């Protein structure tokens, strides 16, 4: 009887040890995957900002500083909340950050994944444009995401949310005149053509992002955004890309 009890206690101890070891190993793999992903995404990122020539500097001084309006979901980030794991996100993929917000008196956790190179992208374009966040999401969520992306740098101060959109046939349209009355200096970056259908000549289309760690869409836009800030009217350039709005 005593031997059976000792054997049972021994087995229980082994199971407890294996359980703790398994949890520690899972946590270690989680941290390792997160750090490896960060290294892969950012170690080779570089976009040299060279001094402007006198001609370019004079040209830039004659035009207004442009405004770059940024969408959040599927443009700069992708997120899912408690109980919903979209098939586009591989199970076990660590989020970049977790948000805890209260919606309709219910606490909800959002697991947020940042699009590759988004931090570098924001750092660079903030030197060229006034950045504005415009999302069709609820303010309590959109504000929390913007705070994380801003990271106390003060580059995402102006923000617009669902209440600033126009609801039309079940979809939210972003009226850019709310941001600025002179649309010649306003550019919107958004994965959803329907969101900017009132101002297609001001839009830069971008493919929706969910989980691809090799995505370079934000980096690819830097040369265009660098050049666009020298134009007197952004619509004179962006209106030529209307066919691209249907590709996404």
Give long-range contacts, CB 8 A cutoff, 24+ apart: 147-151. 148/97, 148/99, 148/112, 149/76, 149/77, 149/114, 149/118, 149/119, 149/122, 151/119
Query: 144: closest CA among 97, 81, 190?
Result: 97
- Would you call 43 helix, strand, or coil by DSSP? coil
Catalytic residue among 73, 96, 119, 190: 73
- Would you call 210 helix, strand, or coil by DSSP? coil
**How far apart are the two ends of the chain, measured CA to CA in Å?**
71
Count the alpha carbons within 13 Å of 7 in the hemisphere toward its beta carbon. Answer: 4
Residue 182 annotated among the catalytic residues of the structure = no
Q: How many CB atoms lie within 10 A of CB 54?
A: 7
In whole angstroms, how far apart are CA 44 and each of 47, 113, 183, 193, 218? Answer: 10, 20, 36, 31, 14
Q: Specify the pairing of strand 77-81 against strand 97-103.
A: unpaired
Catalytic residue among 71, 96, 119, 190: 71
173 bridge partner residues? 166
Encoded tokens for 46? 């570089």
Q: What region does 120 belong to: left with phi over 0, alpha with psi -120 to 50, or beta?
A: alpha
Residue 96 annotated among the catalytic residues of the structure = no
Which residues does the annotation mark as catalytic?
A: 71, 73
């Amino acid at each position: 009887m005593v031997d059976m009890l000792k054997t049972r206690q021994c087995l229980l101890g082994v199971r407890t040890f294996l359980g703790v070891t398994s949890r520690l190993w899972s946590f270690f793999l989680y941290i390792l995957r997160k750090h490896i992903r960060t290294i892969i995404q950012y170690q080779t990122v570089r976009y040299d900002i060279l001094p402007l020539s006198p001609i370019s500097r004079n040209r830039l001084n004659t035009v207004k500083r442009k405004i770059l309006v940024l969408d959040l979901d599927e443009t700069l980030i992708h997120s899912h909340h408690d109980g919903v794991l979209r098939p586009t996100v591989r199970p076990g993929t660590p989020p970049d950050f977790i948000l805890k917000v209260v919606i309709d008196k219910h606490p909800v956790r959002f697991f947020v994944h940042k699009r590759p190179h988004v931090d570098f992208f924001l750092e660079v374009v903030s030197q060229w444009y006034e950045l504005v966040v415009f999302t069709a999401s609820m303010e309590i969520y959109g504000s929390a995401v913007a705070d994380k992306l801003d990271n106390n740098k003060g580059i995402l101060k102006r923000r617009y949310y669902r209440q600033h959109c126009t609801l039309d046939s079940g979809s939210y349209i972003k009226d850019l005149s709310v941001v600025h009355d002179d649309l010649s200096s306003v550019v919107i970056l958004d994965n959803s053509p329907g969101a900017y259908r009132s101002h297609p000549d001001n839009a830069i289309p971008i493919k929706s992002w969910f989980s691809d760690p090799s995505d370079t869409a934000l980096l690819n836009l830097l040369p265009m955004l660098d050049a666009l800030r020298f134009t007197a009217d952004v619509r004179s350039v962006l209106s030529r890309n209307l066919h691209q709005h249907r590709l996404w």
